[in-house]
Structure formats: structure tokens, C-alpha cells
Amino acid sequence: MAKILIAGCGDLGFGVATELVAQGHRVTGIRRTKSDFPAGVEGITGDLVDMSDDMLPDVDVVFLIMTPNGRTESAYRTAYFDTAQTLIRRYQSVATPPKVFFISSTSVYGQSQGEWIDEATLAQPTSATAKVLLETEQSLAAAFSSVSVRCSGIYGSGRYRLLETVLSESDWGANSWTNRIHRDDVVAALVLLANCALSEKQLPAHVIVTDQTPVSMWEVKLWLATSLGVKVAVNGGEGFAPTSGKRLQGQYLLSQGWLLQYPSYVTGYSELLREFKTFR
């Protein structure tokens, strides 16, 4: 039995905690405001940056899964970099530091001319928020044996923003490449990584979590518009081919036996559409 801390026990963390408890591990979860935790999880409610060292247990593995309060540089710094400093202060000097998994984003790859990106590609962030993510990755890597888990766009149950955008029939704008990953597949990836760490496997400095199926954003919206019976809101004349974005693939998780439950947007959004239509 291992001792695991999930700093940020929201949607993703809830799923990871549930799976790890089922495997027999001792799991502590932290939530900033809410007090509901999965069965078997020792819950702590509070802001991680305000916690003293004695509030954080000795652990073997840490997941840092934060959600910023906005898409600004300051919101990202508060959510990611500042919380990372709390973990560094608490765990950097212990006799056996934990393995740390930081849930980051593929936005650290600023390439946007349709390039193929994989785990050998150098991160070149261009936005201020992506630069904060990479700074956080580097800060943790300097202090621990850490892995930056770079996720593409996460979708899944309760995440209706793209569906609502298509339903609004507002102009789709310029086409671009998009990369997605279902929430349940992210959870499975994180649990797999925890087990790799506990088995003392050599882990890479970063992994990409994506469904391996980059597609045109217009293709996704066209499929959704058809499924929802709403207007195709394309007014531009530049053609169907994407003019920007990147195409992502990640091999490490696949090499470790990760199996995608939702290998494309069609499988994932089919289920989400059924849920959406039920609760509309």
C-alpha cells in the first residue's frame, strides 16, 4: 500500500482517487473549497498555498491537478506555480521525496502551423499562461523526480462548452487543428503513471496525453451541428483545410499498455451528446 496525495481533488482528481483507493492505496485529497471526497479518501479542504507543512502528510506519490480561476497570467501563476512552491517547500528535503506528477497542458507547445508534435518536440510556449505552465514544470523538475503530464483539450461528462457554442450558431471563425482527450482516458493515464512510479519504472520528464487523432475543428463542429440539427455557421472563404494549430501524438503511455476508451471525438462526443440531450 502506497501513500498518495492528490492536490486538487476535483473532477480528474476524484476519478484518480477512486481508482487508487480501489487498488488498496492510502489516498489524501485536497480541495480548495468543497468538502466532498470519494469514499476512503482522507479529505482536506483549504487553499494549498496557505497550508503549513504539518498539514501535508508524508507520501510516496503526489498529483498536482489545479484549475485556475481564469485564463490570465496571474490566475495561472496562483493556481500552478504558487501551489508548486508549497509542495517544494514541504517535500524537497525529506529523506525520500515523493514522485510528483504535475498535470500540465499541451499549450506549452506554441507551434501553430500544423506541425506534428510528439514527446521529443521542444516545448516553445508563446502565450503568457503557457509560459507559466512551463515555468512550473521546470521548478518542480529542479526539486524532485517529477513528470509533466501534458494533456490536450479535455472533454467528457458535464463539459458542454463546445456543444453550446455549436448550438448558439455563432460564426465558427477560422479553421484549425484540434487535439482532444476524454476525461476518463486522462484518469486511466494518471493511474497508470502512478503504478509505473510505484513499480519503480524509469519515467520520462514529460508525457503527452491525447487521443492520437488530431482533426480539423470544423470537422468536429460539422459533426456536432449535424447531430444537434443546427446551422453550419461557416462564413469564411478560406476553405476547409486548417490554417493553424498543431497535431499531437504521444507514445510513452501507449508503450506502457494504456488503452483508450475513447480513441476519437466521435466515440467520446456520441456519449456526451446522449447525456446533453437528456439534461437539456
Asked whether the beta carbons of 149 and 103 are under 8 A apart, the reply is yes
Tell whether 23 is covered by a domain: yes
- Residue 71 within a domain: yes
* 232 lies in some domain: no
Helix (H) or strand (E) holding 42: strand 42-45
Question: How far is it, in rounded angstroms, from Cα 178 to Cα 155?
Answer: 12
Provide the pLDDT confidence category of residue 239 given band limits of 50, 70 and 90.
Answer: low
pLDDT digits (tens, 9 = 90+) for 202-224: 999 999 999 999 999 999 999 99
Grid cell for residue 251 = 507514445
Tell me what pLDDT residue 238 has: 63
Report if residue 120 sits inside a domain: yes
Does residue 228 sit within a domain?
no
CA 47 to chain centre: 20
Nearest by Cα to 102 from 67, 147, 60: 147
Any domain includes 36: yes
pLDDT for res 243: 84
pLDDT band at 160 (very low <50, low <70, confident <90, very high): very high
pLDDT digits (tens, 9 = 90+) for 247-277: 999 999 999 999 999 999 999 999 999 999 8
In a domain, 266, yes or no: yes
Q: Which domain holds residue 96?
A: 3-158+180-212+246-279
Give the SS3 label for residue 111: coil
**Which CATH number is 104's domain given?**
3.40.50.720
How many domains would you assign to the chain? 1
Does 268 map to a domain?
yes
Confidence (pTM):
0.96
